[in-house]
Amino acid sequence: MSDARTLYREGFKHFAEDRIDEAIDCYRRAVEAEPDLAIAWNGLSMTLKRKGDLDGAIEAGLKIAELEPDDPLSHTNLSILYQSKGMIQEAEDEKARAMQLQMKAESEPKVD
């Protein structure tokens, strides 16, 4: 297991126990160790939002969308963040993107 994943898990534990500053520190260290670890960026985004740092949360959310551009949830997360900041047009654009991706995923044949 990578150090980044260990740091992610530690950050998640801190987040669950409402130790926000400790969680942010762990998530930041995780993404420094493994910049492509989308789950750590997601944790960082959620934690920064909880702390009230919407700009930081949006920045992390943009990184998630960059790493996982076809994941509807990354765009839904951005939509929520934009809405929280009053960026309505950006929120609507991300919501539409998430819906397009979800519809595409649902129309693809399932592989058993």
Domains and CATH numbers, the chain: 3-107 (1.25.40.10)
Prediction pTM value: 0.87
Query: Rounded to 5 degrees, what are φ and ψ at 39?
Result: -65, -35
Q: What one-letter code names the amino acid at 95? A: K
pLDDT at residue 112, as a whole number: 64
Q: Which two tokens stand for residue 8?
A: 């992610």
Per-residue pLDDT of the chain (112 residues; tens, 9 = 90+): 579 999 999 999 999 999 999 999 999 999 999 999 999 999 999 999 999 999 999 999 999 999 999 999 999 999 999 999 999 999 999 999 999 999 998 888 776 6
CA distance 20 to 41: 15
Q: Which of 37, 34, 62, 33 is nearest to 48 (CA)?
A: 62
pLDDT at residue 110, as a whole number: 72
> Between vectors from CA 48 to CA 61 and to CA 46, what angle results, nearest 5°?
60
